[in-house]
Structure 1
Amino acid sequence: MTSFAERVSTAGDALRALFPATPLQENDYLSKKYGARVLLKREDLTPVRSYKIRGAFNFFRKAIAAGNDADLFVCASAGNHAQGFAFVCRHFGKKGVVFMPVTTPQQKIDKTKLFGGAFVEIRLFGDFFDDCYRASLEFAETSGAHMVPPFDHKDIIEGQATVGWEIAEQMAAGRSADMMVLPVGGGGLSAGITQYFHDIRRDARFVFAEPAGAASLATSLASGRRVKLDAVDNFVDGAAVAEIGREPFRHLKDFPSEAVHRIPENRLCATMIEMLNIEGVVLEPAGALAIDVLKDFPRKDIRGRTIVCVVSGGNFDFERLPDVKERALRFEGLKKYFVFRFPQRPGALRDFLDLLGPDDDIARFEYLKKSARNFGSVLIGIETKDRKNFDVLARRFHEAGWAYQDITDNETIAGLVI
């Protein structure tokens, strides 16, 4: 019986029919910033701009090799898995049906159609992923179509592990990274890479990155069993999974929960903007997770180390850019929102504006509701160039007798009015 590593190597060789190995690039900017040798495994440079094509390809390849006579394949996805699935359907000349939520952005629908061409049919069903996933399972059962899961299958894991196979080939002979940072959603990628390196006996310290609002692996490891989260923040849509996959967790269950870093969504946005503005690298939120982890380590702890960060995807919808920039500014302390009790008298606005400094700018000014004849509640958003400027403003507001509340970090109020 062949080993896991041997099967991954076979899958990697077969994958060359679709695209060459993605680059393992040393990033000078990140290396200088953190005092380490930071290498980026650029999965955003596959034909579908994510690693998901690997698992889908391996699943199809093995199903066909096993003599599976299914002429129809099906998946449920609103993102990268759908695009990888569609590309592979066209490659093998197999018909496929992709179930997507009705709320899926048109850009993702169009890209899936582009990759699949005449071989793929898209069906929109339900407002949420769970709805369309159930519909896809029902379709598979009634039609006899072959279900291609996004992460919870041994052949998918084996395909995603080809990322690790390429990293091992691309590192200097006999060398390993001191640390390897892996993003986690359903767990297929991290399960495959860790198992591959274990099998080839190449030591590396593995660190995992999950969105803070969807930390299913960290929660499960802390509990010693798979735990389904009650609620998930869907902002990091490529990794917002309520429950780690059963098969991935079998591979990952012995890692300590401390190895998983919960990445704040707003901080992640700052990393996305940083990589876009400085390096010209377009990353989706899930694709920036591994890079963002570097912020958690004191410089002295990683100085001189070789660190590999797997950049899992670059399918970013630029219609989301204003929201990403907004979140980044709030995380960096350069933008705040206040509700002021504003006097209804001539000159009040001028008095308020006179308190602002030369680097302070009004980004939003909106009357919410007049609470009394002489006063009104006003939402004011202020941007500045240095977060310390807000300390100065707070002192000026107090000295001038303005009544206000900072709602920047109040998720309940901010969610309603911002």
Structure 2
Amino acid sequence: MRGLFPETPLQRNEHLSALYGADIWLKREDLSPVRSYKIRGAFNFFRKALAVETPAEMFVCASAGNHAQGFAFVCKHFGVPGVVFMPVTTPQQKIAKTRMFGGEFITIKLIGDFFDQCYKAAQDFAAEKGACMVPPFDHADIIEGQATIASEIMAQLPGKGLPDLVIMPVGGGGLSSGLTGYLSEDLLAENFLFCEPAGAPSLKRALEAGEPVTLPKVDNFVDGAAVARIGSLNFQALSRFSADQVMLIEENAICVSMIDMLNVEGIVLEPAGGLSLAALEKLGTDRLKGKTVVAIVSGGNFDFERLPDVKERAMRFSGLKKYFILRLPQRPGALKDFLNLLGPEDDIARFEYLKKSARNFGSILIGIETLHRENFDGLKARFDAGGLGYEDITDNEILSSLII
């Protein structure tokens, strides 16, 4: 693998270490050639598939993200043709990067509106052409390739010490299966913490049920880890762990970590890459103080067109932005009276007249940003004292998704 790319750094993060009173190290997989760890499993799969007596003449994968880019990079490295199936809805940025990594060795086919349709088309194509399907996580060679991260960590830790805690994101389970398998002789089961998006808890539900289960619905915001069913081989490797060791991270909490790392460290993370860092905030100083912690930063393929949405989610989760529906009287001076209720640190970020709900009143959507979350306690108290009719819809998923 060193002939393909150098080891990714294990960096002590001064900001996070000081924040939690711990010795926190980040394994920077966002600094691989394809800005994610997926290149490792792909390389190992191809290395073995091409070593057989009669190797396949064509390779196929289905992916709209990091797996496709790792696959493409490795196809070009070995000089073998590959076909990447992507949903029609895949952003052009991801299509362009996959094409850039694979060059003349890659053909991209856009099929279906959803990944399941795309994956089925890739399977049918591979069967028809006699091509070799390269799975994203549910294969022994993929798992073995991802385990090289653990090998590097053990060689990179100062003084060859052992971490008290290894925090890793989980999607299909290839990364976590490889890491825990390699480190099992050195670390106890309780030294591992798995992180999943709250909207895609495939490992946690499988451990609770004692077998892989298919989630009825998945939130795709954390696209690099939004998997409806943990891989079969991956579940076998992880079944010895407790469901309590799987921490579910709210999607908006991940946004806070992404914004924090961008502003403080200048590190660009994708949502899946922020999972382990968001877990640090959830664990808190009491559970981290004095410990040596390794957090896997799994990827940094972030489309900056998503930045406004990430910032919005982060502010709402941090309590620094709220949305209200106001019931204002239809009289001169009513808006001025409302503005006088705002504090010196409150800023109107959105103001939209919705409709006249009664003859003498109108409904207004208003978004307010502030510098400290406790400012909203004082603002609501002034609303109540002034007899203002209002409803806080910040956490009302149905209403906010329709009108915000």
The bucket for the TM-score relative to the shorter chain is: over 0.9
Identity %: 64
Aligned-partner Cα distance in 1 for 2:53–2:380:
71
Spell out the pairing of 1:309-388 with structure 2 (5 A cutoff).
Answer: 309-388=295-374
Q: What secondary structure, in the 3-state scheme, does the structure 2 residue paired with 1:395 have?
A: helix
- Residue from 115, 137, 142 that aligns with 1:156: 142
Write the letter of the residue equivalent to 1:52: K
Output one character per residue of 1:36-75: Cα deviation in whole Å (capped at 9) or x when no partner: 1000000000000000000011111100012343111111
Aligned-partner Cα distance in 1 for 2:54–2:215:
35
Q: CA deviation at 1:286?
A: 0.3
Q: Which residue of 2 aligns with 1:132?
A: 118
2:133 matched to 1:147?
Answer: yes
Q: CA deviation at 1:302?
A: 2.1
Aligned-partner Cα distance in 2 for 1:223–1:70:
38
Q: Is the 8 A contact 1:176 1:203 kept in 2?
A: no
- Residue from 85, 90, 109 that aligns with 2:95: 109
2:215 matched to 1:229?
Answer: yes
Q: Which residue of 2 aligns with 1:10?
A: none
Q: CA deviation at 1:203?
A: 4.5
Q: Which residue of 2 aligns with 1:417?
A: 403
Aligned-partner Cα distance in 2 for 1:332–1:182:
23
Gaps of 5+ in 2: none
Write the letter of the residue equivalent to 1:306: T
Aligned-partner Cα distance in 2 for 1:67–1:294:
48
Aligned-partner Cα distance in 2 for 1:365–1:68:
66
Output one character per residue of 1:267-292: Cα deviation in whole Å (capped at 9) or x when no partner: 11001100000011111010011111
Q: CA deviation at 1:354?
A: 1.1
Using the TM superposition, name which of 361-370 and 230-239 deviates more. Answer: 361-370
Moved >3 Å (runs of 4+): 200-204
How many residue pairs match? The answer is: 403
Q: CA deviation at 1:201?
A: 3.6
Q: Which residue of 1 aligns with 2:203?
A: 217
2:281 matched to 1:290?
Answer: no
Q: Which residue of 2 aligns with 1:49?
A: 35
Q: CA deviation at 1:388?
A: 1.0
- Residue from 167, 171, 193 that aligns with 1:185: 171
Q: Which residue of 2 aligns with 1:262?
A: 248
Aligned-partner Cα distance in 2 for 1:257–1:224:
10
Aligned-partner Cα distance in 1 for 2:339–2:282:
38
Change (3 A) 1:387 1:202: closer
Q: What secondary structure, in the 3-state scheme, does the structure 1 residue paired with 2:247 have?
A: strand
Q: Which residue of 1 aligns with 2:10?
A: 24
- Residue from 73, 82, 86 that aligns with 2:72: 86
2:157 matched to 1:171?
Answer: yes
Q: What secondary structure, in the 3-state scheme, does the structure 1 residue paired with 2:358 have?
A: coil
What RMSD, in angstroms, separates the aligned Cα atoms of the two structures?
1.1
Q: CA deviation at 1:257?
A: 0.5
- Residue from 47, 72, 90 that aligns with 1:61: 47
Q: CA deviation at 1:173?
A: 4.8
Write the letter of the residue equivalent to 1:180: V
Gaps of 5+ in 1: 1-14
